[in-house]
Amino acid sequence: MAAPRHHILSVLVENKAGVLARVSSLFARRGFNIYSLAVAPTDDDRFSRITIVVDVESTPLEQVTKQLFKLINVVKISELDPASAVEREMMILTVKAEPGTRGQVIELVDVFQGRIVDVGHDELTIELAGPPSKLDDFEDLMRAYGIVALQRTGRVALPKLERTAHGLPKSGMRPLGKVG
Amino acid sequence: MKLNGGQALIKSLEMEGVEVMFGLPGGAILPVYDPIIDSPIRHILVRHEQGAGHMAEGYAHATGRPGVAMVTSGPGATNIVTPLADAMMDSIPIVVITGQVPSAAIGTDAFQECDIIGVTRSITKHNELITSAQDIPRVIHEAFHIATTGRPGPVLVDIPKDIVDPNNPNSAMDWYWPDSIDLPGYKPTVKGHPRMIREAAKLIAESRRPVIYAGGGILKARAAEALRELAELTGISVVTTLMARGAFPDSHPLCLGMPGMHGNYTAITSMQESDLLIALGSRFDDRVTGKVGAFAPGAKIIHVDVDPAELGKVRRPDVPIVGDCQSVIVELIREVRELGAQPDRAEWDAQLKAWQAQFPLHYDQGWGEGDALKPQFCIEQLRDGSPEDTIVVSGVGQHQMWSSQFWRFNHPYTWINSGGLGTMGFAVPAAIGAKVGMPGRTVWAIDGDGCFQMTAQELVTASAERIPVKVAILNNAYLGMVRQWQELFYEERYSEVYLSPDLPDYKMWAEAMGCVGMRVEHPDEVAPAIEKANAIDDRPVVIDFRVDWTEKVYPMVAAGTSNSNVILGPEMGQGGH
Ligand SMILES: Cc1ncc(C[n+]2csc(CCOP(=O)(O)OP(=O)(O)O)c2C)c(N)n1
Ligand SMILES: [Mg+2]
């Protein structure tokens, strides 16, 4: 069996009660675990965008996306190819920072271009945004100092812009339109 | 105009053209029942909410118009869950209105509270909790639109009591009727892609062994006439699935009848051996395909469906066409005409005829002393003794398969059954709904003894409301279909399938419910009893046919095996004897 890989779905939905439950239950029904999920209203507040990252084979995913389309409140679905998408995520974490290690932690925050947003007696709370892999790396490094609490937002994504000869950006998002 | 929410709801149903609704009141829906007294809508009071749901389905099946059911919160709502799932599986347009506890009490485990929106999310095409009285006309209008367009299906609308209760200020609303629908995420495709339709016509013109695989979508799209024109134009034979019986006349020389697990040999084998399957509103259900990997191995596939999620779900089509069957078939006919003559398929047609002659459906009704009454014989007698356009409604089990096999369906919308969900207890209430929708037609429910016991109480409804349906119970004293599997696949270990032929006494039970009750035990009593039943038009009739409990449904393709292994009868071994 081929290794499952990340798929990023960008789902435009009506901004209504219960829509998230409808969307997520289509994954749950098949036992697909949602790896990360981010929801917020778009610039048009009648609509929200749900960014879903799932690890599944392409074929069953195609069936799920077709069924997502059938939800009355789903307006549009696009699949983003991770290779041609800009993915970003944000994390805040509280880490142990006793006098002996505080300097090292601050140095790493600096290297990762994070920000210290709260300072306690022997702990720091740090904010870091960026590609998910960068957050993973930072999390690994902080583990040595003792992570007290950590929260990640789940990723949001947009297609990378291609430049045509005329310099006009062309969307790399693959709209999953109707078949036929 | 100022109305309260309850009045607005009933008025919205009137605006949708609803003539009849099925239901049963209770606390949370009480305020909506009050304005029914002043409404021209006929309300049929059921004895169990499951009955209301199946009646709405039967009504929708028979008339093509959406069926409507209304029930209270909590247990009323959960009782109608099965019909919702049934309508979802068979794409039946129904609108179900459930009462809900007052808005402020939702989520508090209030008396008769149930999160029916959560419960029915995956078994409705759409559901919605109305949160303001002002939204009632819009949501009801959308509900009917969603239920009846695209791939039809059930829609549930949940209404908290406070927004319909005239004593509550939350129920005040200014009446309006929406003149349009604003559903940005719902735009079903009707017209097929012209290039794909041209491709389909080309495949047809190249094909030597084509078969039209007609499904329930033909009936939903009201495309039976178009289908007939396509078949006659191309000379291609047609199989009609369990959901499509009647979509193409059984009497037509091109009709091959029902394929699938209990289909006839020719229908099954024609698909297996075909080089092109033209799937029209069918969905490659496992009961049709048998083992998917071994299904129709040499066939190219043209798949037409209004639901894009069906294309490629089971078998990847060579030519996928999203669209309404009626519109696509009409376009396809045009393309086929343009391409000109069809190839010579005399050899294939001769093969089909040869199979039909060699492997007809069969059973033996003995007439000697002690020969048991055969269920298939009862069905044939019913068929021959009833009007040509009789509507037949069945339960689920052996009697369902025999009904589909042995009736001759020559008109669309004369066969109503629970195909996808396989809901025992469907027949009696669905027959009542069909009769309400088509009062001028004879409606026969052909039911099993097991099924009958699940929803028979609705015959009280039928008597009280003067809905003269007729019920033939093929009483084999068993959960026969399960017994058949135990006999064939579980070494005749009959676990929990015996019901008894005379407990209950069906004749007395029928009479207690205000029906005429009859009992038939011998073959020569069958025709006279049917004649008598068909002459009764002022009340329901129930005939208890005491049939041979050893009879099994053949042909059969065992679950999960290839459709190339059709078991024709007990003589072929495989556990039968
Ligand atoms: C609600 C429900 N429960 C269980 C089943 C499983 N089942 C399928 S057919 C059948 C037997 C039906 O018995 P009966 O109505 O007597 O019909 P017969 O097969 O004897 O003709 C059963 C139990 C079902 N389809 N539906
Ligand atoms: Mg039985």
Structural domains of chain A, ranges and CATH numbers in brackets: 5-80 (3.30.70.260), 86-156 (3.30.70.1150)
CA distance B241 to A145: 67
Confidence (pLDDT) at B574: 52
Cβ separation B129–A75 shorter than 8 A? no
B45-61 pLDDT, tens digit per residue, is 999 999 999 999 999 99
Give the environment of ion ligand 2: residues with CB less than 5 A: B 448-450, 476, 478, 480
- Confirm or reject contact between A101 and chain B (CB < 8 A): no
Task: Give chain B's domains with CATH numbers.
Answer: 2-174 (3.40.50.970), 194-358 (3.40.50.1220), 375-553 (3.40.50.970)
Position A177 pLDDT exceeds 50: no
CA of B206 to the centre of ligand 2 (A): 47
Position B156 pLDDT exceeds 50: yes
Q: What is the largest CA-CA distance in chain B?
A: 76
The dihedral sign for the CA sequence B471, B476, B477, B483: negative
What letter would DSSP give residue B116?
A: H
Position B369 pLDDT exceeds 90: no
Phi first, then psi: give them for residue B428, nearest 5 degrees: -60, -55
Among A67, A76, A179, select the one facing B320 at the smallest CB separation: A179
B250-278 pLDDT, tens digit per residue, is 999 999 999 999 999 999 999 999 999 99
Options B16, B49, B273, B458, the catalytic residue: B49
Identify the three-state secondary structure at position A79. strand
pLDDT-derived band at A103 (thresholds 50, 70, 90) equals: very high
Q: Which of B120, B122, B191 to mutate to test the interface with A (most CBs of A within 10 A)?
A: B122
Question: How close A66 comes to chain B (CA, Å)?
Answer: 5
β-partners of residue B43 are B21
Ligand whose nearest atom lies closest to the CA of B397: 1
Bridge pairing between strands B319-322 and B300-305: parallel
CA of B370 to the centre of ligand 2 (A): 20
Both tokens assigned to B539:
């009340």
DSSP conformation letters of B404-470: HHHS---STT-EE---SS--TT-HHHHHHHHHHH-TTS-EEEEEEHHHHHHHTTHHHHHHHTT---E
**Cα A50 to the center of its chain, rounded Å:** 10
Mean pLDDT for all residues in chain B: 97
Confidence (pLDDT) at A30: 86
- Residue B449 in contact with ligand 1 by CB distance below 6 A: yes
CA distance B542 to B496: 26
Mean pLDDT for all residues in chain A: 88
Confidence (pLDDT) at A173: 54
Identify the three-state secondary structure at position B118. helix
Confidence (pLDDT) at A4: 53
Closest chain B residue to A178 measured between Cα atoms? B308
Question: Which pTM value belongs to this model?
Answer: 0.95
Both tokens assigned to B388:
């040509």
The helix, strand and coil proportions of chain B, stated in percent and rounded to the nearest 5, come to 40, 15, 40
With beta carbons less than 8 A apart as the criterion, state whether B2 and B173 touch. Answer: yes
B79-135 pLDDT, tens digit per residue, is 999 999 999 999 999 999 999 999 999 999 999 999 999 999 999 999 999 999 999
Nearest to B426 by CA among B89, B73, B77: B89
Q: Which positions in chain A touch B100 (Cβ < 8 Å)?
A: none
pLDDT-derived band at A1 (thresholds 50, 70, 90) equals: very low
B481 is an active site residue:
yes
- Residue B398 in contact with ligand 1 by CB distance below 6 A: yes
Nearest to B288 by CA among B264, B268, B311: B268
Bridge pairing between strands A5-14 and A47-56: antiparallel
Q: What is the mean pLDDT of residues B544-564?
A: 96
The helix, strand and coil proportions of chain A, stated in percent and rounded to the nearest 5, come to 30, 45, 30
B282-306 pLDDT, tens digit per residue, is 999 999 999 999 999 999 999 999 9
pLDDT-derived band at A176 (thresholds 50, 70, 90) equals: low
pLDDT-derived band at A148 (thresholds 50, 70, 90) equals: very high
Cβ separation A63–B313 shorter than 8 A? yes
